[in-house]
Structures are given as C-alpha cells and as structure tokens.
Amino acid sequence: MVRKSLTANNTAQSGALPLTSRSTALFYLSINHQLENNYDFKHKKLNKSKLSELHAFIDKAVGKSISDVEALYKRKTDTSDTYGASKKQIIHFGFGKSFRIHGFYNSHGYFELCRLDPDHDKHS
C-alpha cells in the first residue's frame, strides 16, 4: 500500500481541511444558502422537542474540533447523496432519537448545512 504524506493538497474525503488540521480546527456550522425544500426550519415535524435536540447538538459541538464532532455524531456516508452541480458529498450527523443534519464542508472547513431532517426521512 502506498501512503501519501500529509500536505495541504491531501485532504480528508469529508472536508476541505488537510488531515493534519482536523484534530485542531474547530467545528463551525454555517448556513450560506437556502436549505433544501421540505428540509428547512418550516419542516412539519420540526416541533419544540426536535428544536431542543438540535439546540443540544449545537451546545455540545461548540468548542470541539472537527475530529471530535465527527467521532461523536458522523453517520455512515451514502455515496449517492450529493449536493449541487459540484456534486459535493453530503455528510450526515445524527443526534437525539432520530434527528439528522445533512451538509458538506466548504473551502474554509465550515460545515455547510443543507438539510434539517428531524425524523431521518431522507437517506435512512
């Protein structure tokens, strides 16, 4: 097996940061575009209880490294689940009873939220 040295050009599959930075870079959650239809803050199942689960995730993720958040919440990747014309690989974070958020890492290493999935209806 050939191993590549870790450089700025070798990034983790799930993000834009070099592998060497993932354990020290803080996790940032970002919304820089409209959330996907039917998976936004108007979702019919996004009730007070589900909002509390989302809030608890945010509270626990704040101040943690990307590696720590992924170790706690990242779920299995579905390679057919991509976003936009650039086909960015979607990453799923799970918490609470069945809540998932879906997104991808942008060029700054921020997790770009694209879907709120309070009952894990999408790609379950």
- pLDDT for position 2: 46
- pLDDT for position 12: 43
Helix (H) or strand (E) holding 60: helix 48-61
Sequence ranges of the domains in the chain: 32-117
Average pLDDT over residues 73-82: 93
1, 44, 47, 59 from 111: Cα distances, Å? 31, 24, 23, 15
Distance CA 11, CA 95 (A): 26
Evaluate if residue 22 carries a pLDDT over 70.
yes
Distance CA 42, CA 62 (A): 24
Instruction: Pull the structure tokens for residue 107.
Output: 């060029």
Nearest of 37, 41, 61 to residue 51 by alpha carbon: 41
- pLDDT for position 49: 94
Mean pLDDT across the chain, nearest whole number?
A: 85
Q: Which residue has the higher pLDDT, 115 or 7?
A: 115
Say which range, 2-16, 33-47, 103-117, has the weakest mean pLDDT. Answer: 2-16
Evaluate if residue 45 carries a pLDDT over 70.
yes
Average pLDDT over residues 74-78: 93
Instruction: Pull the structure tokens for residue 15.
Output: 């993000």
Residue 85 pLDDT level (bands cut at 50, 70, 90)? confident
Burial of 55 (0-12, 13-18, 19+ CB in 10 A): exposed
